[in-house]
Amino acid sequence: MPLSAASGRSMAEIAAGKGKKRVWHSNRSTAANVTAGATRSKTNVRSKTPTKMAAATARTATKTSSAKPGPRAKEVPAKRRVSSSGGKAKAWKDGDVRFTHPDRVYWVDVGVTKQDLADYYRMAWEWMAPHVVDRPLALVRCPDGTKGQCFFQKHASAGLTEQNLRTLTDSKGRQIIAVEDLDGLLSLVQAGVLEVHVRGSLIDHLDTCDRIVFDIDPGEDVGWADIVAAARDVRERLAAIDLETFVKLTGGKGLHVVLPIDGADWDTTKTFAQAVAFAMTSDEPERYVAKMTKSLRKGRIFIDYLRNSLEQTSVAAYSTRARAGAPVSVPVTWDELGRTRAGNQYTVLNLAKRLGSLKQDPWKDIAKVKQRLPDASALRK
Ligand code: ATP
Ligand code: MN
């Protein structure tokens, strides 16, 4: 049973809410902690720690075949931990991130705390990094957990410091934020971010799409088998023109089919994504719709292609969702898709078990695939 990196609790124990009032210490030996802690210093935050190296790998992952994350990925090193007292801790320091109120409950329905969320991301980071690092972010922030008020925000602001984030300004003078390493992600956790959404572009190439997302959005009375069939339909249509796709559970109701491309301008991207959705609705209007209007969706599936423009985002792989049960968005292989049960079947509480038993990363090839986006007319052949 995989253990939570920080608390040493198993995910089952976290699920059962065991060990909540604990003394802050890592499950590692003191020697291991000292060694790991010694690799970081406040003045040298950009040093090549293993975490930083993972991020650097992620940055080059679109160009090389060295897709790093996977079952053999190294565990993120234990970090310096400063307990405020010998008893129940009020705050702790993790690398460069200062955490307050670790026992604050973010998902009341399942008792998942800020600490549990930090533990989850530490566990999932090597898998997540290639899909989130250096992409412009949009965040769902719920400082008081899912039961409180949530905000969708794209900029740093009160309580969300820029300290561990990369920030830049776009051509319209608006701030863009990105994470570069685990510290960046953990500082989002501290700020109450419960969902991390990313653009289909990298911060250094905002005008170029490298990942197209088809959002399979079911109407209320659509069953899971039909949602899976719709994702496969997108896959087959694209495979017919030699484009390889990947799929993930959204952590919500549906699926996202992801098409990695070598780089296309947003007009070309939008036209292509729309053409796919329109081809599906015109071939099978009883199954699919390509308009946002909710009333049209009854019994049908909205093929949402509208994520594919400069400033639109979709939930990042391995991000948690601010929804009941603390679900997460999870990449799966096309083969295993038929064995899935729901878009929200994996959660903060059970994902470690899945990752621990995987033989390889379900998306191991996503950064290796080299494919140019054809003209949309290719779809009509
Ligand atoms: P599901 O499978 O349940 O549909 P999903 O991630 O596809 O999960 P949607 O509700 O279909 O969720 O879409 C929400 C998308 O809209 C997100 O990907 C997000 O990037 C974008 N978005 C834009 N504005 C907002 C907002 N104010 N709040 C939340 N999401 C927003
Ligand atoms: Mn959706």
Could you read off the pLDDT of 19-56 as tens digits, one per residue? Answer: 333 222 223 232 332 233 222 222 232 333 333 334 33
Question: Does the pLDDT at position 376 exceed 90?
Answer: no
- Contact criterion met (CB below 8 Å) for 84 and 92: yes
Which ligand is the nearest neighbour of the Cα of 329? 1
Taking the centre of ligand 1 as the mean of its atom positions, its distance from the CA of residue 197, in whole angstroms, is 9
Q: pTM score, two decimals?
A: 0.80
> How many angstroms does the Cα of residue 255 sit away from the middle of ligand 2?
7
Read off the pLDDT of residues 99-121 as tens digits, 9 standing for 90 and up. 899 999 999 999 999 999 999 99
Residue to probe by mutation, ligand 1, list 250, 293, 309, most atoms within 8 Å of CB: 250
- Residue-wise pLDDT tens digits, 166-219: 999 999 999 999 999 999 999 999 999 999 999 999 999 999 999 999 999 999
Among 3.30.70.3300, 3.40.50.720, 3.40.190.10, 3.50.50.60, what is the CATH number of 208-312+368-380? 3.30.70.3300
Which pLDDT value is given to residue 91?
A: 63
* Range list for CATH 3.30.70.3300 in the chain: 208-312+368-380
Between 67 and 256, name the one with better pLDDT.
256
Query: pLDDT, tens digit, for every residue of 192-204?
Result: 999 999 999 999 9
Query: Which ligand 1 atom minimizes the distance to the CA of 314?
Result: 18
For residues 223-232, average pLDDT: 98
Q: What is the pLDDT of residue 90?
A: 59
Residue 341 scores a pLDDT above 50: yes
Mean pLDDT score, 235-263: 98
Residue % of the chain over a pLDDT of 90: 68
Mutate to test the pocket of ligand 1, among 220, 256, 305, 313 (most ligand atoms within 8 A of CB): 313
**Among the bound ligands, the one closest to the CA of 316:** 1
Report residue 293's pLDDT band, with 50, 70 and 90 as the boundaries. Answer: confident
Q: What is the mean pLDDT of residues 119-144?
A: 97
For residue 250, how far is its CA from the centre of ligand 1 (angstroms)? 10
Give the pLDDT of residue 93.
67
The ligand 1 site (C-beta within 6 Å) comprises 138, 140, 152, 197, 215, 217, 250, 252-254, 313-315, 343
Ligand nearest the Cα atom of residue 303: 2
Confidence of residue 6 (pLDDT cuts 50, 70, 90): very low
Read off the pLDDT of each residue in 329-334 and give the average, rounded to a whole number. 98
Nearest CA to ligand 1 atom 11: 217
Q: Is 60 exceeded by the pLDDT of residue 81?
A: no
Q: Which of 193, 194, 217 gets mutated to test ligand 1 (max ligand atoms within 8 A of its CB)?
A: 217
